[in-house]
């Protein structure tokens, strides 16, 4: 999963925006600084979607530059979007995979480290399959 990023270079610095995630905005003193800030801005915007219980838009835009989403967060995005699509609550998902509801709260927390097997099990309970591929 990678999101198109746009760098607007001016004499005042560099403004960073993401066509698919309009909430993700940042800037830098120069291009290197802006690139360093871009991933943090994207991940912070994802947190807004998770807090608001809104689906994270899929990356669709094409651009010259992209920001890669860490695989652990990509899996959590798929989980959130799948839960919303299926209209499944944290409590219902917890019941389906036989864990406490607090564990699901941690599953959909971007700052909490989660084992990939746990994410795969949760997605499987939603009728999805998480696949790992090396290319």
pLDDT in tens, 5-20: 999 999 999 999 999 9
Does residue 63 carry a pLDDT above 90?
A: no
Domain holding 79: CATH number?
Answer: 1.10.260
How far apart, in whole angstroms, are the C-alpha atoms of residue 26 and residue 17? 7
Structure tokens at 59: 């990356």
Residue 84 falls inside a structural domain: yes
Q: What average pLDDT does range 86-94 have in this prediction?
A: 95
pLDDT of 91 reads 94
Do 55 and 12 belong together in one domain? Answer: yes
The strands making up 25-28's β-sheet, listed across from edge to edge, are 25-28, 13-17, 2-10, 65-68
- DSSP for residue 12: T
Domain holding 18: CATH number?
Answer: 3.30.160.250
* Closest of 117, 118, 40 to residue 105, by C-alpha: 118
Does residue 79 carry a pLDDT above 90?
A: yes
Is 0.85 surpassed by the pTM of this model? yes
Range of the structural domain that residue 19 is part of: 2-68
Residue 39 falls inside a structural domain: yes
Does residue 135 carry a pLDDT above 90?
A: no
Do 62 and 7 belong together in one domain? Answer: yes
Count: domains in the chain? 2
């Amino acid at each position: 999963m990678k999101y198109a990023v746009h760098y607007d270079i001016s004499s005042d610095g560099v403004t960073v925006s993401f066509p698919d995630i309009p909430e993700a905005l940042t800037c830098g003193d120069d291009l290197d600084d802006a690139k360093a800030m871009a991933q943090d801005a994207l991940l912070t915007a994802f947190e807004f979607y998770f807090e608001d219980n809104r689906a994270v838009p899929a990356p669709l835009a094409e651009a010259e530059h992209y920001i890669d989403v860490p695989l652990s967060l990509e899996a959590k995005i798929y989980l959130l979007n799948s839960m919303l699509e299926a209209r499944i609550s944290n409590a219902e998902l917890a019941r389906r995979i036989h864990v406490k509801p607090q564990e699901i709260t941690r599953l959909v927390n971007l700052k909490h480290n989660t084992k990939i097997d746990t994410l795969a099990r949760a997605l499987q309970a939603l009728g999805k399959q998480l696949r790992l591929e090396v290319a």
